Each structure stands twice: as C-alpha cells, then as structure tokens.
Structure 1
Amino acid sequence: MDTHILPVELEKAYRLLNHGPTVLVSASHGGIDNVMAAAWACALDFAPPKLTVVLDRASYTRRLIEQGGTFAIQIPTAAQLDLTLAVGSISGGEVKDKLARCGVELFRAEGAAQQPLVAGCSAWLACRLIPEPHNQQTYDLFIGEVVGAWADSRVFRNGHWLFEQTDPQWRSLHHVAGGHFYAIGEAMTGSNPEEV
C-alpha cells in the first residue's frame, strides 16, 4: 500500500464525506470486482460510523453488494475526473473489461481484503452492508457500517481536509448534471457567534 495512505480514526471517518463529494463505489463478489460513480452519499452516524449511498437497481455494483454484503466508498480527485465519468457511464454487467477500459487500478487494504479499493483517490471507507430490504427496494438506499477508513496524508491529516494546501488536482469532485462537475473551492472560516 502507498506510504501516503494512512488510517483514519473511525470516530472521524464521517469527515471524509461531510463536504458532499461525488464518490466511487466498489464491490466484489465471486471473484468479480466492479466500480461505479455515485453522487448521493452521506455520513449517517458517528458510533459506530455509518453512511448511506443511493444505488440504482440497474447498477451491476449494487448486485455485487447485495450478494457479497460489503462495499467501499472512495473520494476521487479532480485528476480522476475522466475515470469517474467513465465508471459512472459504463456498466460492468455489459462490458466485462470495464475497469481496464476506464483505467481503474485496484488494491486491497489490510483489514478490508473483501473490498477492492480504487488507487489514486484521496480517501477510502470500507463498509459492511446493513441490510434494510425495504429501503433498498423502495428507495435504492443502502446503509453501510464503516469498518475501516484511510486517507492520503497529502490531502487529509489529523482529521481535516487540506485542499487549500495541496495541488488543485487533489480537490474532490462534485457532480451537478450530465458530465458537469465542480471541484471543491477555497476554504472559508466563519465567525463564532459568541465572539461577535
């Protein structure tokens, strides 16, 4: 594993998603790996840490999650814009060499060998599916308990994002519509109401 990838304390794992990035969702079952992009993912709980993600019933990755019971969420970077758009546009169920075509390189992390992780991202959250059949079938809403979290120390350290201190290529992507994205902007700090 890359020496810049460091574990994130699970009680701070929610911070990896709090800024609302587009995410990559990966899963594996029966020796088959797949990755898709998703715009609707968010932190749900602190202890144990949980997250939600909306996965269309037609997606191949969703089937792998339902069969395998695990998945990973990763935060792609601005440098991975084309990769993100490609994995969100091509179905692994229809194109067997999707990951190779899209230029996806996978790795496994210690303690999360079931979940394939996408190399080059800024953060990764390995999850165990919390089965909620009604939510999954009615709303396409999946809940995961975060069992492991990692971030690239060049852009996330001591529980905080450092986007303003790194190359803009490390910024997270935020999907608007079609193939249109924004990268996260500059940091701003508001005044504490008690100090005004």
Structure 2
Amino acid sequence: MNHLKDVPLAKAYLLLNHGPSTIVTCEHDGVANVMAAAWVMPLDFDPPKLLLVLDRNTWSRHLVEGSGTFVIQLPSRQQAELTLAVGSCNGGETDKFERYGIATSRARHVEAPVVDGCVAYLECRVVEEPHNQQSYDLFIAEVVAAYADERAFSNGRWHFPNDDLRTIHYQAGGAFFATGEAFQVARD
C-alpha cells in the first residue's frame, strides 16, 4: 500500500470510467465482508458519486444497509483468481477474508477493511434512495476518499507499466480480460 496516492475527488470518476471489475468491502457491527461487483459506474463529479448494483440476497447488502458505507476496490490482473473467488460464495456462510487469506488494511474515512494490493480505492457513503434500493437494487453513494497506485494511475490517467498492474474486466464463467493499451486521439 506504499504506492498509494490521493486522487482529487473531482477526478475520482476517472478511476471507474474504463469499466473495470471491482471488489466491494463493507462492515457493520464488527462483521465484515468482501464481494466482487461488475456493475459499478461513476455518476457525478462534484460531489463525486457512483452507482453500485447490490442484490438484495447478498450478505454485503445487509452490511451496507446497516453501516451506510462501503469501499470499491479495483483489483489488478494478478488478483483475478481472488476476484472470482470472493464473487462465488456467500459471506453470510463463510468468512471470506479467512477462507482466502486476504490481507487487509483499514479504510481511511469509512469503517471498513480494504483489500491490500488493489490498484485503486474509492471510499463511499450511501446516499439514501429507498425506492431505487428496494426496486432496482441500485445504491447511489458519495465518494468521500479516492486513492490509487501511482505506478498505474497518475495525472488523471491510467498507464500500466506491466501486465500485473492492469485492471480486469469480467465476462462470465471465470473469463476475464485485462485492460488494454491506452492511446489518445487529438480533438479538432
């Protein structure tokens, strides 16, 4: 976690704009969970907000509704196996942190663990929207802190120095692809 650098909150959306798979951590009353989530997207700039689809049948949903907070993490390619594992079992039935030997630290501004070794983190507080949450499993959250591994994200841009630090995208059935090469197009 020594390569982490704060990302200005107004630029936090840049961490998610390329549509990576994410890991969500949450905690309520001393009970924590970790899960994978593919449906996370930026929503607003100032204050920064994001959307998270959190199925009502997940253990994480229970914890997020209790605490009102969660952390979105962007795993790297070397964490694809972990991402699949935490997305494939129920945290209400097993302690995933213990089962998979997940190293964690504490979030900076919300009460939750963070998975060590991810390339970016967005700490979030839920914006209560009961209709959206109950009808669509859709959570709106304000990003209260954002930080990223400066080896892979700096000056508002992703730049992957090696394949291990690339973010990942989940397709289905255990199939992922890694974020590709960045390129720029000049505007007229």
After TM superposition, is the score higher than 0.5?
yes
What is the match of residue 123 of structure 1? 120
* TM-score, L = length of structure 2: 0.96
CA contact (8 A) 1:52 1:144 kept: yes
What is the match of residue 107 of structure 1? 105
What is the match of residue 180 of structure 2? 185
What is the match of residue 46 of structure 2? 47
Q: What is the Cα deviation at residue 117 of structure 1?
A: 1.0
Q: What is the Cα deviation at residue 176 of structure 1?
A: 0.9
CA contact (8 A) 1:51 1:144 kept: yes
What is the match of residue 162 of structure 1? 159
CA contact (8 A) 1:52 1:142 kept: yes
**What are the Cα deviations for residues 142-177 of structure 1, in whole angstroms up to 9, with x where unaligned?**
1110000110111111221112xx110111110111
Aligned-pair RMSD on alpha carbons? 1.1
- Are residues 1:140 and 2:166 paired? no
**What letter corresponds to residue 171 of structure 2 in structure 1?**
V
Q: Distance in 2 between matches of 1:113 and 1:56?
A: 22
**What are the Cα deviations for residues 108-128 of structure 1, in whole angstroms up to 9, with x where unaligned?**
143x14121111100000000
CA contact (8 A) 2:70 2:110 kept: no
What is the match of residue 37 of structure 2? 38
Q: What SS does structure 2 have at the residue aligned with 1:18?
A: coil
CA contact (8 A) 2:107 2:123 kept: no
What are structure 1's unaligned runs of at least 5 residues?
A: none
Q: What is the Cα deviation at residue 7 of structure 1?
A: 0.9
What are structure 2's unaligned runs of at least 5 residues?
A: none
* TM-score, L = length of structure 1: 0.92
% identity of equivalent residues: 53
Q: Distance in 2 between matches of 1:105 and 1:136?
A: 30
CA contact (8 A) 1:75 1:124 kept: yes
CA contact (8 A) 2:59 2:92 kept: yes
Length, aligned pairs only:
188
CA contact (8 A) 2:23 2:74 kept: yes
- Relative to structure 1, the CA distance from residue 35 to residue 122 in structure 2 (aligned partners, 3 Å threshold; closer, same or farther) is same
